[in-house]
Structure 1
Amino acid sequence: PNSHDPTSPGEEPSFSSSLSHPDFSLGSFASGISTPHRSNLNVTAGYLRPPRLSGRAGSSSTLVPGSASQLGKASVTGKDVEEYAGLLHDDEVTAEEAAMGDSIGPGSVLDTPGPKPKGVRTRSGTVTAAAAPSKVSKLTLRDQEKHIDNLKKENFSIKLRVHFLEDQLARMAPDQMDAALKQNINLKIEVQQRGMEIKKLKKLVLSLEHELERVQRGAAASAGASEREKELEQRLEEKERELRDLRRRKAEREDGDDALREAEARNAELEDELDNVKGLLEDNMDEIDRLKNIVQQRGSDKAEELENENYELREKLRAQDDLVSQLQDDRDDLQDALTELQLRLEELESRRHAESIERSHSRAALLDEQEAHEELEDEVNQLRDRVAALMIELQGKEDEVEQGRRELDELMEEHKRVVDVVENEWRGEVEEARGQADELKDVLAERDGECEKLRMHVADLEHETDELHLKFEGALEQLEGELEERTREVEERECERAVEGERKEAERAAG
């Protein structure tokens, strides 16, 4: 399948397959190379207009190369992607056809028209199809424009992939890790793009190797040409070593990406655990508030009930005190009356004693005196009975007042005991809840520390990834410069061979 095809919106992108490099050894390019026609793209003033891609409003969407933010504003359907992928597939050709000198389409940069070459044996002993000797000239303006069109089409496919990957990340990744994940994916896609550029450069190296083989066939004509070819072979070996070094660095970078993904997974796990701990802490704080409300409500209700009972008992005690005061007043009145009666009785006794002397004076007066004395004694006895009854009643009231005071004291003690129990229960529950909250805060601080360590580790991995990316860019630029230099050397060699051929032709014509 074409590695340039954009993924459909319903498909999940796979980095393990898109980032794997094929074997970059020379002569191992048997895979197809996509060279789309220029007519399929509309290139105007440096802008790339993909075929049949519509925006949200139904108008065509113009994309500026290098700007991936505009992809989020266009509605790319699966049908459009399939049609665009079909255009890419229609222009595919094989490396064997390119090596045999066939035309690989109007978008090809390596066109070498000429008759079919004959098979030659290379240094490794294998028979390869060598192109007919032809003069390798510099790329024309049209070929360069076609090459730019191909690169823009590949850039568009990569932008599509970035668009779909950003949509996938928006649904899967946490908010705090979204930037890191996007940067990681962009770096991986850039590595894939550099890999495709290396494949194209390897294709160019393969063509240059064929040219070198043609140069080797004419090595017998000049001893200096053999030394030049050996130098070119050494440079080819050096470039192969550089390519192997690049593959090794890429493998190391993939290992760093695995560590980064592991750190991100651990960070996400710690974030979830941190959220759980925060939830437990909030639940405990809510439980503490609920217990406080319950204790306060219970204490206020119990206190109000005890206050009401205390008020009722105080009212009863006040009424009993009033009754005791009234009984004491009645007792004092009766005591005064009894005292008065006793005085009257003593007066009567004295009168009786005084009148006993005069008994003989009148029998009738004596009888009247006895009757009066008996009446007074009866009245005194009644008063004594009344005083005794009042004393008994007073003693009962005093006992009731004492009982009421004892009950009031007991209620006050009960009220104090209940208040102490409620305060102790509330204090114990609150202390326990505070202890749990402190433990959860400690766990939360520990999780925050682990998250901070993981963030620092992720930052270090990103820094290492950036350094590897810069090294890769530098090596790629150096490789491109070497390839350009080698191309110029091959062109110079071809010019020398052409001059030598013309000289030989002139000598034969002169002979």
Structure 2
Amino acid sequence: MAHFIATPRTEVGDFTRLPGDTTMADELDFSAEPSFHAPEGRDKLFPQTRGARPQAAATPRNPLATLRNANARNEFTPLMKSATANRTRQVNGLLKGVGPTTPAAMKPGFQLSATPLPEASTMDGVNSSSLSESAVDGRTPVPDMVSSSVMSTPMALPQRGEGALEPNGNALTLREQEARLEQIDKENFGLKLKIHFLEENLQKAGPEFNAAALAENVSLKTEKVQMMRDLSKYSKNLKTAEKELDSYRQQLREYAEKVKRRHADEGLQEELDELRRIAEERAAELEDLEAKFEETRGNDEEVDKLNAELEKIREELRQRDELLDEHEEQIEQLQIKLTTAESSQDADGEEKERKLQELTERIEELEEDLRSAQDSHQVELDEKERKLAEQAEKIEDLEDQLQSLTDSKDAEIDALQQKLDSADEGKDEQVRTLEQELEDMDKQLEDMTNQKESEVSAVEDRLRSFEREKDLELKALQRQVQAIEEERQTEVDALKDRLQLAESQGDNQVQLAQQAASDARQKVLDMSREKSVEIELLQSRVDAAESKVDELDECRRRLRDSQQQLSRLQTESSSYEQQLQQLRTTIRQKDMELEKLNMLQRERDDATQEIHGLRLNKDSQIEALQKITRERDNSSREISNLQNTLQSRDREISSLQKKVQTQEIALEELTKLRADLGERTRELDTARKTLSERESELEALRNEAVEPGTQLDALHGIVRERDDELESLRDEINTHKGELDSLQRLAEERLQSLEEMRDEMQRTKQDLEDEIEVLQEAADEESDEKASLEEKIIILEKEVQASYDLQNKSSTLETDLRKSERERAQLASRIQSLESDLNIADQDREDLRHRLENLKQDLQAARQSSNAGANSAKDRQELTDLLRKAKLEAEDLSIRVSELEQERNDLERRLRADIGDRETKLRNAEAEVEGLQLQVAEKQGEVDAVQASSRQRISPGTHDRTAKQHQNELRELKERVRNKTLDVEDLQLQLEDRDARLKELSAQSKALLREKEKQLRTMQASLETTQKSRRMDDANAVFDLKGQIMDKDKRHVKELQGMVKQIQYLRARCKREEDFRDSLGYQKRFCLMMIEVYGQCNKEDLKLIEEIGITPDVTYHQRKHSIKTVGLAVVASIRMKRMAGEWAGQKKVHAQLIQKLEGMRRRSGRAAAK
């Protein structure tokens, strides 16, 4: 046979000489290069899987349709040959290593044709199977021409399907073949990417991932519900506190105004009682708030429990991540086993299918067991939720009981508060100081409530944003799962179509088998790359989860800070409440002191009349005191007994606390058992995951088993290993089930015992608390009785001491009588000066009346002028200044009049005292005169008796001597009588003078009294008129002030409504902006991910293009809109309409605010113009 010069090819060296020797002959290759032709319908496969529209075929082209090639003259295709050869060499070099291929003659079923041409396998080992491939259809293969003519590469191509050639029957051109190769490479790359993402999504769609997502969703929802409930409670408490503070502040303002008008207001005492009652109500309500805050602290313990469960879930997630790493290592080991097993695959397909069926049945059984375990876990969760609901109902019942108790206590406090008496002027000053302190505390409370509201709103916004993010992530995961399932189904259909097409092409069966083997090897490499990518993606997700966990921790930390701040505020409010209570106690003490002073005054007035009665009642009171002391001793003994009972109760409480500690130890054991249960469930999850992975591997092996020429020997070993592993897993699952059942029974028994012990503890605790309360009430009553008795004893002792003081003071009254005469002249001069002052005051009052009348006229004129718009603001200011001055002068005059009235009353009292003193002195003088007259009569009787006795005793002998003596005696007596008569006459004259002066003084005093009574009547009349006028003026001023206050209140209410609308509008606007930002951020992330995917795809495409050596087509084909884009556009329009409808209400609010603002501006402009 003659040899020809070979055509230049990429895989063969440069032949520049004739092959004359044997080495040249050995290096020649006469095998035909098989041309590539795509199976029928292959161009529609890739667009169907991707959901895109089918691309238009590159051939026939209109510019080349007119060019016709000669029949039976195949075009020279060196690029086609080099591409296929490079691909086979690359695959063989990567997986099998470079070495000689199997000759065609050594293959089973090889038959030589009848032609004497040399065998292709004896010439070259690079492409030894081409002869058998070319002789498939029974035709004689044509050897390669060793010339560069048009007929240099004769090939026996297989029969093409319809549409493979142009209508004129010509072959594909070089450009068409290059375009077809480029399209095939792109489709292969897209399919590999799709397979990678499908496997990743299948792994993510596993039961363990869904269980973790469900657990996290449940925990987040429980936290959200708990936090929203706490926030609602806090917001309600804050709103009620704000309302009460506003009402209390308004009442304080009203009280201040009433205190200022206390001299003109007759109902001041009732208002004071009302304000005190309201203050006590507010104190009780603040105590209720403290109790509620303590209950919320108890709820914080439940939040801590939820945090502990979250930490357990995080530990489970970490363990699952470790299990994922272990399973990835197992997958790599299985891949190594698969690569080693591919060399020895020939087994029975029916047996493998049977074993696969058994494996699937076992997997289903394990899945049913896992479902039963999940159902039991769900039942436990429902039980826990039921218990939480029962606890919430108990808490509500306790709140109702507390409310009823507070109502009853409020009623009692109101009944007691109504018994308080009026306060003095000194007490008014204390009330003012208290009002100032209360205003300061109200301001502090307002600041704290505003701060807490801002913090609570911030926490609510964070929770809403976190909830939105979680909902978006869940929706995205659901969409991903649905997309993965759809893509998996489409991929399975596409693979089935490919298998059918491969089986239909019988003439290229061997080539397809080799290509499948090379694809499998490439798939193993791609799987290794995909696993690395998957590991990176998992790492990124783990990082994202850790960041979310950090965010959750930050939110919890902020919540704890806010709760601590609330507790601090509660303590501060309690301290303020204690200060208020102390102030109230001081007020009560002052009231008691004032009452005691009033009682002492009344008792001093009646002391002279009650001294005798007190002396009589003293013995009876002493006996009563002795009885009281005996009762006090009895009460002290009862208190000691009660204290002993309290100590016994304390001992019982300590024993109960020990029981509680034992129960807590049992609870810790239960938590350990729950941890063991969690570990068992995690082991079950890992077993299920391994089973799902084995199932995926078996499915992959089953898919490979369908293709011809696959290696089945290694599958038997793998199946046996899988059977052993499944058996071991089944045994482990059975053991774990037994352990789970036992642990569940133990946990249920422990829970039941704990619940029973807890109920007993609650009952005993409640009984003890009731007994303690009863004992405390009894002790309080006994202490109150003891204090009241001691106070009574002190009062009685003071009364006795006062009676003794009054007796001592009676001796000093005599000295005061002497001083009264000297004070009389001073009082007379003082009366004259007061009369002159009264005249001056009357004149001033008349002047003030005239001035007030003039001011009223000026006011009327000013009002008329203001209505007419004639006067200016300066005149109004002058008038207001004049009114203010007039009011000040009127107040000064009223003060001066009151002082004059007090002086007049003092003078009247002194005059009455002087008159009484004079009368007593007159009575004493009359008594002295009567005594002197009696003495004179006695002396006259003695003189008469002496004269008679002297006449009888005179004898004649002694007549001279006795006569002289009697004469001397008579003389002396006459002198004494004369002296006495003179004294009596002097006394009579003095008495007459005193009587005359008394008459004159009585007449003068009567005249003065009549004049003073007249002046008092005139002054009272003038005072009544002035008071009436002042009352009228005050009533008019009060009416005007009330009108102004009502106007201000109305304006304030409207301003508050406007501010509420502004806040509502701003909140809606901020929420809208946040939603826009969230959506834009999500779109940005999605676009970045798409760009990243496109970039990776472009890089891989460029790598393939570089390997093939083809320049890409730069023509741009505009893509039509798909159904997905149309659906997204419809969804976007619906969302925009819905959001526009939601925003319409806020637009109305904004328009109303703008209208109000413009109206206020117009009114302010009009006022400025006036």
With the length of structure 2 as denominator, give the TM-score of the two structures.
0.18
Structure with the bigger percentage of helix: 2
Larger RCO of the pair (alpha carbons < 8 Å, separation 6+): 1
